[in-house]
Amino acid sequence: MEFNQSHVAPLIDDEFQGQASKRVLSYIQGKRRQGMPVAGLYCVYAPMELIRAAGVVPAGLCSFANKTIPPAEAVLPANLCPLIKSSYGFIVTDSCPFFALADVVIAETTCDGKKKMFELITGYKPLFVMDLPQLPDQEEACRNWTAMIRNLGGFLEKTFERRISEARLEEEIQATNVKNNLMNRLFGYAAATPPVLSWNEAYELGLLAQAASTEDLQPVLEHALETLEQRKVSGVHYGKPRAPRVLVTGCPLGGDSLKAYRIIEEAGGVIVALDACTGMKPFKHFIEEGSGDPLAALAAYYLKIPCSCMTPNQKRLDDLDALIERFRPDAVVDVVLHACHAYNVESYKIMNHLKERHRLPLLKIETDYSNGDVEQIRTRVEALFDSLDR
């Protein structure tokens, strides 16, 4: 799949074309050289604004490569989710450059597998585990998560011998809202028919935006917006005009599991929405500004993330409704990593909701980071497109 014109200008005009992770690594290395400490993160529940307000750079840790799974399986059971196995494998083989740069690691109790894996990596770097409430609609959830965020603040202040001021927190909250607003405008170009933004560009923008501060990112995103607007004006679009539009939901994808996106494209689909923590999900909502209680505002904001570890996860359905209205997909693909019970079980609810509310078909793909099932997945995706009444 490609653009309908040759020589389409890239959105991020730098030397890292096709090397999104290297771009992020180079950014974090630059901050490190300026003397900023680094916090390694495993999940988008980590409160970025607090971390940044402490003058610390957040760095997403490696978790998407098949190659680190065999060494992990020397310790972890084979029937565990590949994301957890890969993360652990990166650490025991000392092959994650982000982990190498990290002074501390911040982790959340999203699922049992991760929680127990964190116990095995406590000896490598100072680790701060946050107890994530899983009934977000209950009143106590926000109070408890606020307390956890406050504790994390204490941990960062103590570790790095500094104070996090409320004023700095408030500034970071405002900065995230500016960033999310820009990101949402960018994603809007994927909502066009046919789309002007490719899934890979959306993915790469998301990856960079998780690491970079709004101050550093704003000129990049504004340039990307101008580039997209020029594309639109000159009739550039991505994929075949009549290609089935696909919304991909489910587990976080990256590295080797990006095969799911590639197969969908090779089968003739065009991906218009990435409903994953490594896609559009972290940029969807806004944080209350000037609330007088920035920690509580942060807690409320992060509890809006509809991870399948939450119950009952009505927000996932609500967010899907909004995504469907905006991106108008013809089909939804739910990508579930092997042994991710929460996303796997939730898939049934998603399927029924999509059928009843939107008359949209859902294809669930259960996969891992290997290439052994590419042809089987291809058959299912092709059959999904065959079954669309278009």
Query: Which residues in this chain contact other proteins in the complex, by CB under 8 A?
Result: 361, 366, 372-373, 375-376, 378-380, 382-383, 386-387, 389
* Cα–Cα dist 302/300, whole Å: 6
Which residue's structure tokens are 């990006």?
258
Under 8 Å between Cβ of 274 and 280: yes
The 104-108 sheet, strands edge to edge: 57-60, 38-41, 104-108, 127-130
Tell me how far, at minimum, the Cβ of 379 lies from other proteins, in Å. 6
Assigned token pair, 4? 């309908």
Closer of 230 and 387 to other proteins (Cβ):
387
Under 8 Å between Cβ of 113 and 84: yes
Our CA dihedral for 295, 296, 298, 303, rounded to 10 degrees, sits at 140
Tell me how far, at minimum, the Cβ of 190 lies from other proteins, in Å. 26
Beta bridge partners of 250: 335
Strands 270-275 and 245-250 come out as parallel
Closer of 103 and 373 to other proteins (Cβ):
373
Under 8 Å between Cβ of 310 and 135: yes
